Amino acid sequence: MKMKGAQIFFECLKREGVEVIFGFPGGSVLDIYHEMPKHDIRHILVRHEQGAAHMADGYARATGRVGVCLVTSGPGATNTVTGIATANMDSIPIVVFTGQVPTAMIGDDAFQEVDIIGITRPCTKHSYLVKDVNELARVIKEAFYLARTGRPGPIVVDLPKDVIQAQTEFRYPKKVDLPGYHPTLEAHGGQIKRAYQLIKKSRHPVIYAGGGVIHGDASEELLQFAEMIRAPVTSTLMGLGCFPAEIRDKKGKRSPHPLWLGMLGMHGTYEANMAVSNADLLLAVGARFDDRVTGKISGFAPKAKYIHIDVDPTSIGKTVEVHIPIVGDCKNALQKLIQTAEAEPVEGLEEARAPWLEQIGLWREAHPLRYAFDPQIIKPQYVVEKIHELSGGDAIITTEVGQNQMWAAQFYRFTRPRTFLSSGGLGTMGYGLPAAIGAQTAFPDRLVVDIAGDGSIQMNIQELMTAVCNCLPVKVAILRNQFLGMVRQWQELFYEKNYCGTCLADSSPDFVRLAEAYGAVGLRATKPEEVEPVIREAFAIKRPVLMDFLVSPAEGVYPMVPAGKSISEMLLT
Amino acid sequence: MENSSKHRHTIGILVQNVPGVLARIVTLFAGRDFNIENITAAETHEPGLTRITLVTTGDDHILSQIVKQLNKLINVIKVFDFRDTEFVDREMALIKVRAEAPTRAEVLRIVDIFRAKVVDVSPHFYTLEVTGNESKIAAIIELLDQIGIVEIARTGKAALARSKKH
């Protein structure tokens, strides 16, 4: 039977198990919207296409499945670029369908024409311009396959209007045929053996885990292997949740996991940065030695031999020289390490590791993450701690970018993968609210909280309307310090306290009334004693709630490694 | 560490001949600050496959990244990294040179020495075709430049690995 391109589009999505599309219509995609009501796929109408891309991203991070967004040509397409670049930097599987002018008009500077494939080429894993309806099904199949396999990433599929109007026989290919795409998933046995020999000999090992552990669904293996070799674990921002910061006893009482060091890097914990700086072995799993993690390269884990597991060969040896590279899927590599360790356990492990863990304990005691509680003014860290406490540590947390993001990373103790959604690589302000909406769409009954700043929340505040209209009860906690706080902190420390362009005092809307204008609930806390009641109330309301916490403007994020310094050179206050 | 001095490298790239494939390669080089000295691309005998030869400069670390990043492109089927391989490379140049009465004979002598060909003749100019490796092309250009090169068009390098002799 012949079908129109628009119908083929939905048939393909159905076969890929797509349950929701985040989108915004326009001239070039009207045929798809015309077809949409006939299909059992939910459509979330966004208020700005950047929001659609971030929602697809948030959905993907929370579920591990491919997120989908659909926008029209021209500005609809260009508005997704920040979302695509965000997903690309953090290896998030999304497929972005963009409308395009009819093929005969491409290149004519037609109304709402833009070369979105050209614009997004540097920030996608791959992209397609579909010029023939006979290619449509194959391209969609390949797009989803590429998005979710190997190192995941965003795929753009550009759909000219005449292609989705044209008709052809629908056949969904069973397999993809991509002769240039064969990601190495199976870790090399010989390299695993060599790696394990180094691990066995090591006295001061540290596991440095990244987002790849989450993408590769390897958290359980990471925990098992870390406990087997009794190696402390630190993670990148992207890795938070891949290792439990806390464990619960049978009565549900929570205590810190003894091997957890916290996040490392620029705003990492003292013990994580000191442990890495003194390690004799660094086992990097699904991490990419990003500059915010390493600080000055020559000062990063200078005494350690490096083992690096990553599914993407370009990540290995890119910024640091690695002694044992292991290309492969994190789960596969860790499973093999576990098997090797089972066959060949380290003798006297407890005693061998005791001095190292003791030393780490001393670092932790000397400089734990802390802040000075003030009964007069709300400290932002206190708000994050209370959100953690009152959510039972089980919420999905999204963040914007800046101080709010770092305090969330430091003071919310993540225990499960896919519960911390944050723009790490690109550092996209305006990410948190749409990402929270995407996550809430996937998990309508879970608590989803966007920890935001008064600067970043306004970058996509319009999506509050999307949350309200679609009954997605996301919670937003604005840590309102009346500054673009992280930039202000850099100005304070490195730019002579010249607070140019960063002050937001008296120049933000009344967030409570704004929330109400959108049909959400607005709550405010201006004193420490109001924090807990506000959070409790917000969590009890089954609607979107925006919480406005007036917090101390002067608070900084510490520890901090100044840019260009070694991570052992931390500013502690 | 690896050899950190900069040198020139020739890389062969076998790609699917699909729209935008060259743009992907060039975008990759531009975006990651890799250098392209010259690049050639043409279809192969196999339908749907194009062979690209590219000359770049960089140290071993950069070259490794280039090879890995190229391999990561979905439409790239194979990358030939000639670092540890013997290979043959040739390029062709069309050179329009001033050839007035006093210099005509000299130009023809150079053509003869370099086994070049005169492919177009006019009262004041010869257009020459010369094929060879890089040093040969450089040598003839240097000689002809003293006589007066008017225009030059070069193909850039094409390279293949040498076959094993046993």
Minimum CA–CA partner of B14 in chain A? A180
The model's pLDDT over A85-101, given as tens digits with 9 standing for 90+, comes to 999 999 999 999 999 99
Other CB atoms within a 10 A radius of the CB of residue A497 amount to 9
* Domain identity same for B15 and B66: yes
- Band the pLDDT of A38: cuts 50, 70, 90: very high
**CA angle centred on A73, ends A68 and A76, rounded to 5°:** 65
Tell me if domain A189-366 and domain A380-550 are identical in fold.
yes
Q: Is A112 a catalytic residue?
A: yes
Across A535-550, average pLDDT: 98
B83 DSSP 8-state letter: G
Across A259-274, average pLDDT: 97
Q: Is A565 a catalytic residue?
A: no
pLDDT attached to residue B166: 65
Contact at CB, B75 and A180, closer than 8 angstroms: yes
CATH number at residue B23: 3.30.70.260
Residues listed for chain A: 573
| Closest of A255, A252, A260 to residue A234, by C-alpha | A260
Residues of B whose CB is below 8 A from A321 = 1
Contact at CB, A180 and B24, closer than 8 angstroms: no
Tell me the residue range of the domain where B56 lies. 7-85
Put simply, the chain A residues between 461 and 520 with a CB less than 8 A from any chain B CB are none
State the maximum Cα–Cα separation within chain B, in Å, rounded to a whole number.
Answer: 58
* Domain identity same for B105 and B73: no
Residue B1 lies in a domain: no
pLDDT top residue among A233 and A506 = A233
Other CB atoms within a 10 A radius of the CB of residue A35 amount to 18
| Closest of B121, B102, B119 to residue B153, by C-alpha | B119
Q: Which two tokens stand for residue B24?
A: 């992907």
How is domain A380-550 classified at the architecture level of CATH?
A: 3-Layer(aba) Sandwich (3.40)
* Domain identity same for B137 and B70: no
Which range is least confidently modeled, A388-397, A525-534, B1-10?
Answer: B1-10
Distance CA A476, CA A451 (A): 6
The model's pLDDT over B115-148, given as tens digits with 9 standing for 90+, comes to 999 999 999 999 999 999 999 999 999 999 999 9
Residue B2 lies in a domain: no
* Domain identity same for B18 and B73: yes
Across A255-283, average pLDDT: 97
* Domain identity same for B75 and B29: yes
Whether residue B79 contacts residue B51, with contact meaning beta carbons closer than 8 Å, is answered with no
Bridge partner residues of A503 (DSSP): A483
Please state, rounded to an integer, the average pLDDT across all residues of chain B. Answer: 94
Distance CA B22, CA B8 (A): 21
Residue A535 forms contact with B (CB below 8 Å)? no
Residue B123 lies in a domain: yes
Residue A124, phi then psi, degrees to nearest 5: -125, 160
Distance CA B62, CA B68 (A): 10
Please state, rounded to an integer, the average pLDDT across all residues of chain A. Answer: 97
Distance CA A375, CA A363 (A): 29
pLDDT at B3 over 60: no
A243 DSSP 8-state letter: S
Among B48, B64, B85, give the residue marking a domain's end: B85
CATH level 3 topology of A189-366: Rossmann fold (3.40.50)
> In the 3-class helix/strand/coil scheme, how is A69-87 assigned residue by residue?
EEECCCHHHHCCHHHHHHH
* Domain identity same for B106 and B130: yes
Among B65, B85, B105, give the residue marking a domain's end: B85
3-state secondary structure of A488: helix
CA B23 to chain centre: 18
Whether residue B30 contacts residue B75, with contact meaning beta carbons closer than 8 Å, is answered with no
- Band the pLDDT of A437: cuts 50, 70, 90: very high
Predicted-complex ipTM score? 0.93
- Annotated active-site residue in A105, A112, A443, A530: A112
* Domain identity same for B47 and B70: yes
Minimum CA–CA partner of B28 in chain A? A122
Interface probe for A, chosen from B16, B74, B76 (most Cβ of A below 10 Å), is: B74
Minimum CA–CA partner of B71 in chain A? A180
CATH number at residue B124: 3.30.70.1150
Task: Tally the domains of chain B.
Answer: 2
The model's pLDDT over A461-499, given as tens digits with 9 standing for 90+, comes to 999 999 999 999 999 999 999 999 999 999 999 999 999
Residue B95 lies in a domain: yes
Across B81-106, average pLDDT: 93
Q: Give the list of residues 6+ apart from residue A115 with CB closer than 8 angstroms, or none.
A: none
Contact at CB, A180 and B64, closer than 8 angstroms: no
Among B85, B110, B132, give the residue marking a domain's end: B85
The model's pLDDT over A349-385, given as tens digits with 9 standing for 90+, comes to 989 999 999 999 999 999 999 999 999 999 999 999 9
Contact at CB, B77 and A312, closer than 8 angstroms: no
pLDDT attached to residue B84: 83
The number of C-beta contacts closer than 8 angstroms across A and B is 40
Would you kindly state where each structural domain of chain A is located, as residue ranges? 2-169, 189-366, 380-550
Residue A323 forms contact with B (CB below 8 Å)? no
Across A26-30, average pLDDT: 98
* Domain identity same for B118 and B154: yes
Residue B49 lies in a domain: yes
Nearest to A180 among B1, B19, B76 (CB): B76
Q: Is A89 a catalytic residue?
A: no
* Domain identity same for B68 and B114: no
Q: Would you report the helix, strand and coil content of chain B in percent, each value rounded to 5? A: 35, 40, 25
The model's pLDDT over A169-223, given as tens digits with 9 standing for 90+, comes to 999 999 999 999 999 999 999 999 999 999 999 999 999 999 999 999 999 999 9
Q: Give the list of residues 6+ apart from residue A105 with CB closer than 8 angstroms, or none.
A: A113
pLDDT at B157 over 70: yes
Put simply, the chain A residues between 328 and 347 with a CB less than 8 A from any chain B CB are none
Bridge partner residues of B87 (DSSP): B161
pLDDT at B2 over 60: no
CA B48 to chain centre: 22
Q: Is A250 a catalytic residue?
A: no
* Domain identity same for B53 and B107: no
Q: Which residues of A315-351 are buried (b: 16+ CB within 10 A; e: fewer)?
A: bbbbbbebebbbbbbbbbbbbbbbebbeeeebeeeee
Q: Is A105 a catalytic residue?
A: no
Nearest to B27 among A122, A129, A178 (CB): A122
Pick among 3.40.50.970, 3.90.1150.10, 3.40.640.10, 2.60.40.1730: CATH of A2-169:
3.40.50.970
Distance CA B141, CA B155 (A): 14
pLDDT at B1 over 70: no
Residue A181 forms contact with B (CB below 8 Å)? yes
- Band the pLDDT of B101: cuts 50, 70, 90: confident
pLDDT attached to residue A118: 97
Distance CA A384, CA A531 (A): 10
Contact at CB, B77 and A180, closer than 8 angstroms: yes
User: Which sign does the torsion angle of CA A165, A170, A173, A178 carry?
Assistant: negative
* Domain identity same for B13 and B76: yes
Residues of B whose CB is below 8 A from A181 = 74
Put simply, the chain A residues between 76 and 135 with a CB less than 8 A from any chain B CB are 117-118, 121-122, 125-126, 129, 131
* Domain identity same for B93 and B77: no
- Annotated active-site residue in A2, A38, A111, A344: A111
pLDDT at B14 over 60: yes
